[in-house]
Structure 1
Amino acid sequence: MRIAGAADERDNGWEQHQPRFRVCFFAGGDAPSASWSTDTYDAAGADVLEVVQWAQDHAGSERLYAIALVDEDHTLPADQCRGSTWLVGMDANEFQVDEDERRCFAAMLARRGKRVLGLR
């Protein structure tokens, strides 16, 4: 983790109060060259802690999960305007290109079958 010095909250140009999250569950992939099967769900009407709670409840002991914030940039062509920012984990089928991504993927593996939030 890298923390930058004090930030100025006034530098935001916009805020979104109704986020849309994408939750991906990954199964299989245990062999080094094997791919992961993916089940994907969109979630709205919740905050990120509620979505993490739901994801860990539904992942069970065998699947990995990752959560992204979904947004749209309408300055791009319609077939390219939707994008994701990973908040928890990453796409398990993507090659990890640097140490941050390798650490992120290792953390996903370490979380499998474990609860990181217990809000109930």
Structure 2
Amino acid sequence: MADVQITAVDERSSSWEDDRPRFRVYVQDTGRPADVRASATTWTYDVTGADVLQVVDWAQREATGSRTYAIALVVDEGRGLVWLVGADANSTSHVPAEVDAQRRMRARRTTPVGIPAQDRMPTGVRAHGGDS
């Protein structure tokens, strides 16, 4: 956490907004609850029409048992990702920030992010394609 910085900015400094974000959810299963860094089976989904709290709620419901999840914002028509929650579970990087992200991914298996009822994904929303 030593690299975290919080800086005040002028709210008028952005030049564009996107009110229909596309989130990419990775649900990964190493088959071993203790080791997120082992090669993982991955299910990947794009989610639109929801906000980030709803996406976290849905991802947590999909990631049960030895599964972890990560969420990225899709930018540049799918050519780029901005990690919002977690990181690539298949990464073998020793960069402290990535190692910490993977540690926190494992911790969310037993201690999920608290999502208030009004921010949960509507019940009945299911993925199309894939087999998670």
TM-score range, shorter chain: 0.7 to 0.9
| Structure 1 residues 62 and 36: CA distance shift in structure 2, 3 A | same
Measure, in 1, the Cα distance between the counterparts of 2:31 and 2:86: 15
Q: Which is further off, 14-23 or 58-67?
A: 58-67
The TM-score, its normalising length taken from structure 2, stands at 0.76
Q: Which runs of 5+ in 2 are unaligned?
A: 118-132
Q: 1:24-39 alignment to 2 at 5 Å?
A: 24-28=26-30, 30=32, 34-39=38-43
- Indicate the percent of aligned positions where both proteins have the same amino acid: 46
Q: Is the 8 A contact 1:24 1:67 kept in 2?
A: yes
Matched residue, 1:108: 105
1:117, CA displacement in angstroms? 2.1
Measure, in 2, the Cα distance between the counterparts of 1:57 and 1:101: 23
The TM-score, its normalising length taken from structure 1, stands at 0.83
Q: Is the 8 A contact 1:61 1:114 kept in 2?
A: no
Q: Is the 8 A contact 1:59 1:113 kept in 2?
A: no
For residues 51-104 of structure 1, the C-alpha deviation after alignment (integer angstroms, 9 at most, x for no partner) is 00000011112200000000116xxxxxxx611100000110112241111111
Matched residue, 2:81: 84
Extract structure 1 runs of 4+ deviating beyond 3 A: 29-34
Higher share of residues assigned strand: 1
Q: Is the 8 A contact 2:37 2:92 kept in 1?
A: no
| Structure 1 residues 18 and 32: CA distance shift in structure 2, 3 A | closer
Q: Which runs of 5+ in 1 are unaligned?
A: 74-80
| Structure 1 residues 37 and 115: CA distance shift in structure 2, 3 A | same
- What letter matches 2:11 in structure 1? E
Q: Is the 8 A contact 2:37 2:102 kept in 1?
A: no
Q: 1:59 and 2:63 equivalent?
A: yes
| Structure 1 vs Structure 2 CA RMSD | 2.0
Q: 1:12 and 2:28 equivalent?
A: no
Matched residue, 1:22: 24
